[in-house]
Amino acid sequence: MKAIRRFTVRTVLPAALQDLDELAHNLRWSWHGPTRDLFESLDPALWASVKADPVALLGALSPEKLAALAGDAELVDRVRAEAAGLRTYLTEPRWYQGAGDDLPAAVAYFSPEFGITKVLPQYSGGLGILAGDHLKSASDLGVPIVGVGLLYGAGYFVQSLTRDGWQVEDYPLLDPDGMPITLVREDDGTPATVSIALPAGRTLHAHVWMAAVGRVPLLLLDSNIPDNDDLARKVTDRLYGGGGEHRLQQELLLGVGGVRALRLWSRLTGAPEPEVYHTNEGHAGFLGVERVAELVAQHGLGVDEALEAVRSATVFTTHTPVPAGIDRFGVDTISQYFGGDNEIAGVPLDRILALGAEDYEGGDPTVFNMAVMGLRLGGRANGVSLLHGEVSRGMFNGLWPGFDGSEVPISSITNGVHAPTWVDRRVSELAESRFTPAELEGATGWLNPDAISDAELWAVRRELRAQTVEDARARLRKSWRKRGASPAELGWVDEALSPDVLTIGFARRVPTYKRLTLMLRDPDRLRALLLDPERPVQLIIAGKSHPADDQGKRLIQQLVKFTDDPAVRHRIVFLPNYDIGMAQTLYPGCDVWLNNPLRPLEACGTSGMKAALNGGLNLSILDGWWDEWFDGENGWAIPTADGVEDADRRDDLEAAALYDLIESQVAQRFYDRGEDGTPQHWLQQVRHTLATLGPKVQATRMVEDYVRRLYAPAAVAGRALHGSGYAGAKDLAGWKATVRSDWSQVRVDHVESAGLGESPQVGDRLAVRAYVSLGALSPSDVDVQVVHGKVSESDEMSSFETQSLEVTETYENGRFAFGGEVVLDFSGAFGYTVRIVPRHTGLANVAELGLVANA
């Protein structure tokens, strides 16, 4: 019989064990081994059955068991000690508290998904895992971030396979009361609620849940509440589960509702309101609209003034290298939500539509682009690797016409991963027991064979490989049972994979560009690698395709059919339902991590970082983070067939290169053993990887970069515009309006040069004099620049520097002469030009207005 209602009855803990509830509801346990050890010690068998979920464990312990535990004085002391340790962690000064002045009092971090732990399944892939690692590392560093997201009733989906290898999606409902989150309540105990007006007089309400991610509160909005009609209750039903208006309403709730949730959180807790707002991808872009509306309504600012105040303190991170990865909505649909009866007082619909308008060459005037809005509302923007920043500047160059691609205001901060989450404890504890504090911090201890011998390191690597093999067999057996196989058919699973065979891992989402099946381009050659009698290779593969992506599902099916072949199924497996739990066992046990996207479509690709932190070597296309940090000794770069336009031909060439590398270098080196039975050259690469990549791929490094390069400057800029009744914002908005209206009169009339002989030499000085017309603008409004650098035969300057010229003479009718000198500091072909750009202390970058007058 089916229940008509379900709820969770909470455990009443004995007084001596009350601290367990605090420990269970702070997600620090997900990366703090001693706390997990404590929970496991309460009942090891039960801990395993609840899949290492502290809240579920406490709920499953019987009153008799709890009473017995409360009577164990040694255990009670451990509980109190761990609780005291947590409280110290939550309150003691950390890196941020000594990082300098001018840092923001609080930063709001918006993301549509957060991958914190497998028991809080609110993520689909890399974007969410990155967001989770961002919050965890911010907590470890003491950065005062507050996360903002949505609470999805069914998360993403649970993946399984049919007998013929087709992906099947299941959406088990999640019970918030059974998860490590807390409902935010008003002072009178009622649930705190945010509300958003929808078209046709409807209203979307949401409760706010809080997940404690160490020191960081993560606010999650939930629309599945009685106050909503049936359609509104489904807004947060699942992650990326719908398109069109369903997706739009999710993004409205995330952006607009998220800002309102922050205001509610500050009111109820006294937490400082954020000085900086960071939107992780364009999904949360409407947060800027809500903040503009606040300033218009509460402070009487005009729209232009409010936009400047909002932009100054907003950071936008783009994660996609392809236009198809950006959310775009019809202009008519956006008009329904922000026009008519829903129009925001003082914020006309046309001003909102302009934020997301593709009003540039090649754009579509019928759509509203969320990434474009993110860039227009973000005073500072970045990609997530050096190469991705370059790709993004090219992709969005149309927003800044007249500027070279290198000047498009999108910087780069390369992603990182949270080491305590992803490094196996055998690796971290071995290092902690043998290295000095300085060696630990710089990871240099790995280069010292006297601290950890090759034999010890190789033994640990085998233990990790064996752990991965054991877990893979269990998952493989479970998958086959779901596919309809009987136990009698599955005896072969006990022999699948081996802890002594070179193990290559490949796990990620399955969009076409990640090329899940590149390894299958030549099936016979792959079989030969897998079954080599002397140097065999084994592959462990995992990944989910978006439910609406039938092409991705076909790729999975193609791969699964290959892995089902009895001749190779002991050497290659596909494991369904790739998630955090699988990843934490898979990464450490892989000797090599494979990544073969279509370059340059991998924005960053952090899975290889997690493998590297465990001593795995990367075998990857030079894309994302690998493009900047591959050094020839930390793995292998798969050659790319750049310039080959035939997609099939390109795949054939790159697959052949992959096979060649595995056969002639990777496998050969892995099986080349010394007298002590260890592969010395291989272990040299492992040590080099741990020592050199270890410090770089840390998410703490990434968050420190965000603090120094984006958050602190955004906070300073925000304060400059917000102070004295937003006088700075008013001044900047008025100045921009003047410059825009008068820019048509700005031009470079004539350029003269002098000072060089017939054979210029390094060190000579080029005198440049530019005659310009500024119309109604004054010289203080502009920067007249010499742009100079090396030139090609076609006079293109691929890289250049700029030098400002000074006013030397003033003429009638807004005409001026500017002059200055350029020192020739390199040999070879030299070129220069002159341009005029706007200048104001409130501008974050030279291209901000998209205005330039070139000679």
User: 676 and 579, same structural domain?
Assistant: yes
User: 159 and 60, same structural domain?
Assistant: no
User: 633 and 606, same structural domain?
Assistant: yes
User: 121 and 76, same structural domain?
Assistant: no
SS3 (DSSP) at 768: strand
User: 802 and 691, same structural domain?
Assistant: no
DSSP string covering 271-340: PPPPSEEEEESGGGTHHHHHHHHHHHHHH---HHHHHHHHHHTEEEE---SSGGGS-EEEHHHHHHHHSG
Instruction: Give the C-alpha separation, 206 to 4, whole Å.
Output: 23
User: 142 and 74, same structural domain?
Assistant: no
**Structure confidence at residue 9 (pLDDT):** 65
Of 91, 122, 138, at which residue does a domain stop?
91
Of 27, 62, 91, at which residue does a domain stop?
91
Instruction: Give the C-alpha separation, 599 to 388, whole Å.
Output: 10
Q: Let me know if residue 782 belongs to a domain.
A: yes
When divided into structural domains, the chain yields a total of 4
Three-class DSSP labels, 604-650: CCCHHHHHHHCCCEEEEECCHHHHHHCCCCCEEEECCCCCCCCHHHH
User: 630 and 778, same structural domain?
Assistant: no
Q: Let me know if residue 433 belongs to a domain.
A: no
Per the document, the length of the chain is 855
Rg (CA), the chain: 29
User: 187 and 61, same structural domain?
Assistant: no
CATH at 755: 2.60.40
Q: Let me know if residue 422 belongs to a domain.
A: no
Q: Which two tokens stand for residue 422?
A: 């992803």
CATH at 661: 3.40.50.2000
- If you search the block for the tokens 């093999």, which residue do you land on? 469
Of 680, 697, 714, at which residue does a domain stop?
697
Instruction: Give the C-alpha separation, 22 to 675, whole Å.
Output: 53
Other C-beta atoms lying within 10 Å of the C-beta of residue 352: 25
Q: Let me know if residue 432 belongs to a domain.
A: no
User: 305 and 173, same structural domain?
Assistant: yes
User: 283 and 301, same structural domain?
Assistant: yes
User: 497 and 404, same structural domain?
Assistant: no
Give CA separation, 218 vs 191, 248, 814, in Å: 17, 22, 55
**Structure confidence at residue 536 (pLDDT):** 98
In terms of residue numbers, what domain contains 264? 107-416+704-722
- Give the pLDDT means over successive 10-residue stretches in the chain (855 positions): 63 93 98 98 97 95 96 97 98 97 97 97 94 98 98 94 96 93 97 97 98 98 97 95 89 98 98 97 96 97 98 96 87 96 95 96 95 97 97 95 92 98 97 95 94 96 98 97 95 97 96 93 97 97 94 96 97 97 97 96 95 98 97 96 92 96 98 95 98 97 98 97 95 97 97 89 93 97 96 85 96 96 91 96 93 95
* Contact between 849 and 409 (Cβ < 8 Å): no
**Structure confidence at residue 29 (pLDDT):** 98
* Contact between 816 and 774 (Cβ < 8 Å): yes
**Structure confidence at residue 298 (pLDDT):** 96
DSSP string covering 412-470: E----B-HHHHS-HHHHHHHHHHS-HHHHHH-GGGG-TTTS-HHHHHHHHHHHHHHHHH
Q: Let me know if residue 577 belongs to a domain.
A: yes
User: 580 and 468, same structural domain?
Assistant: yes
Q: Let me know if residue 406 belongs to a domain.
A: yes
Q: Let me know if residue 146 belongs to a domain.
A: yes
Q: Let me know if residue 437 belongs to a domain.
A: no
Give the H or E element holding residue 83: helix 73-91
